[in-house]
Amino acid sequence: MRVQMKKWGLLTLIWVFGMLGLVSVQASEVVIVGGYAREMPPGVVNSAVYLTIKNTSNEDVVLVNVSSERAAQVMIHQNTLQGDMMRMRPVEQIEIAAHDQFDFTPGGHHLMIMGLTKPLQAGQELDLLFQFKAGQGVEIMVPVVGNSDSSEHHNMHNSMTMKVQN
């Protein structure tokens, strides 16, 4: 009897705080799949990362920053074709609609890893910290692949799922 009263009391408190907006039991969920970084030749201090971010929640999410302990800076870049010239420009943020995804792909959007403390070599991993506008954050590790490796192979075998909470 005493246990059942405590259970009802706890449920009542959760309901009251939920109604007041003080407790949120719904978390945004972001799934990151197929991530990989490109291996760098000796002396090159920049690289690129490609991956897909899936927003499985009922709310839009906005990616505002990415960082790595191994790099001075990580920038979101977009390649665009202007005439017959490919141009790369920084992008401030990426909005991912509810139940949608955003692809970082060669020739399109990518994460530019700049000022690496050591060149990336195949077989290593690179840490990445994603920050979202609502204050969410998620840290992942992506494999470093050689330039001759197929990205399809890495998409199939190196997918990650990360839950991001508000």
68 belongs to a structural domain? yes
Question: Tokens in use for 128?
Answer: 């990445």
pLDDT in tens, the chain (166 residues): 554 555 455 444 444 434 433 332 234 588 899 899 999 888 889 999 999 999 999 999 999 999 999 999 999 999 888 888 888 889 999 999 999 999 999 989 999 999 998 889 999 999 999 999 988 888 999 999 997 654 443 333 333 334 343 3
Domain that holds residue 127: 26-157
44 belongs to a structural domain? yes
20 belongs to a structural domain? no
16 belongs to a structural domain? no
Contacts with 141 (C-beta within 8 Å, 6 or more apart), sequence order? 125, 126, 127, 128, 160
12 belongs to a structural domain? no
3 belongs to a structural domain? no
Q: Of 55, 56, 59, nearest to 24 (Cα)? A: 59
In residues, how long is the chain? 166
CATH code, 129: 2.60.40.1890
Q: How many CB atoms lie within 10 A of CB 40?
A: 20
- Structurally, how many domains does the chain consist of? 1
